[in-house]
Chain A
Amino acid sequence: MNTNAIEIRGLVKNYPTFKLGPLDLTVPRGAIYGLIGPNGAGKTTAIDLIFGMGKNDAGTIRVLGLDHRADEVELKRRAAYVSPDLNFAVWGKVGKAIRFVRGFYPNWDDAYCAQLMKAFHLSDANKIATLSFGAKTKLSLLLALSRRPEILILDEPTTGLDAVSKQEVFGELLKAVETGERTVLISSHGLSDIERFADHIGMIKNGKLLLEGRTDEIVDRFRLAEFFSDNGTQFQNRDGLIILKQNENRWHALLDQKSGAQDWLQSKGAKEISLTRVTLEDLFVALAKDEETK
């Protein structure tokens, strides 16, 4: 059995002012995968292409081993999509929206739906139009989860959610992957949430993948380095080293511990090298800055 839920290879989509790709993404089955990147990085474009919204110019997308276009119907049955743009207000009340949506999906789980209603503090009688932004997000998540999809794709689900709601949402997502058979792909720019909840991450910027892998391994691999140089060496970015700041002989840089950059620094006369752990946010800011200067 293929152990990857989503495999994107060489994906390209050209727009007049933006180019996505060539992009490779690998989402392992059973994982919560965080797709992170600044606004306009191409997250939504990539997600839309998975669901056949727009046609890619090159590359392949396989979801659960299915081709995203040739097997579109089966894919849409087994995968669910949640976006802040989804609007269910036309159904009037929550109960009516649920009764409408459930008819389309043979796997719909009423008991689970009821449990989610409770967890998300929703009720059949709520008028959708008057729900808060966060409650609307929870409703679309409820409608997606109750279908028991094998893959759940969430575009910026935590935008506009308060801290308590965020925990409720992530709690349900962790429950959803508890059996190891469901996969969640979540795009976000809330990096601290992703660092805590996502097993895997992919960082994209300007339509390109900067980094992909297990969250803990990525965070462990990099360090913020401070060092001093008394011999006047002007350090520049190189493989595994991104210079962040310099004041006279004192330097700050992002260092990839796997790259041998630390030995290189020492060989160039860097002294008193001290290393500090990074957060995903530190890492992302440094990598994004480096990408801009290229």
Chain B
Amino acid sequence: MPPERKTFLIGPISSAADGALYQQIVDQIKREISENRLKPGATLPSFRALAEDLLVSVITVKRAYEELEREGIIFRRQGLGTFVAEHGHDRNREARLNSAQELFRTAAREAAEAGLKPSEILELAQKIIKGKS
């Protein structure tokens, strides 16, 4: 019988949440990294072990890891395991900045299409940042 393993916790994964299950795992692991609960060099569980913790298929976790590896946030060492990359935190930040930029661009375009002037768009953005809208 395998020894009792410590459960690895990330935010909840649910079919009712937005996005494919693997994407949710990617996002949750990124969150752990950006909030410094997972530090550079930290070991991630094997994908089979994480699949068991999250009650999802092995393929789902494998795909999430592949995605994180491609982005340079984690890396794999044959026979040793999967680790958070040294610059995982920065890479993650970079990816988030890119994504935020993209979202701002979309928002600005939609606002312009709705007939808002640049000054009004800025005003709206400020309101949102201050949590008033």
Contacts and interface: CB of A to CB of B under 8 A. Distances in A.
Are A and B associated in one complex? yes
Interface string B1-41: 11000000000000100001110000000000000000000
A109 B55 contact: no
B interface, how many residues as a size bin?
10 to 19
B1 A199 contact: no
Contacts of A133: none
A177 interface: yes
A111 B1 CA distance: 7
Contacts of B48: 174, 177-180
Nearest to A114: B1
A177 B58 contact: yes
A153 interface: no
Helix, strand, loop or mixed for chain A's interface?
A: helix
A216 interface: yes
B63 interface: yes
A118 B67 CA distance: 37
B56 A199 contact: no
B52 interface: yes
Interface string B39-70: 00000001011011001111110010000000
A198 B55 contact: no
B59 A214 contact: yes
Interface in A86-114: 109, 111-112
A31 B55 contact: no
A196 B21 contact: yes
A115 B3 CA distance: 12
Interface of A: 30-32, 109, 111-112, 115, 167, 170-171, 174-175, 177-180, 192, 195-200, 214-216, 219-220, 277
4 residue pairs, one from A and one from B, having the closest CB atoms: A199-B59, A174-B52, A111-B1, A178-B48
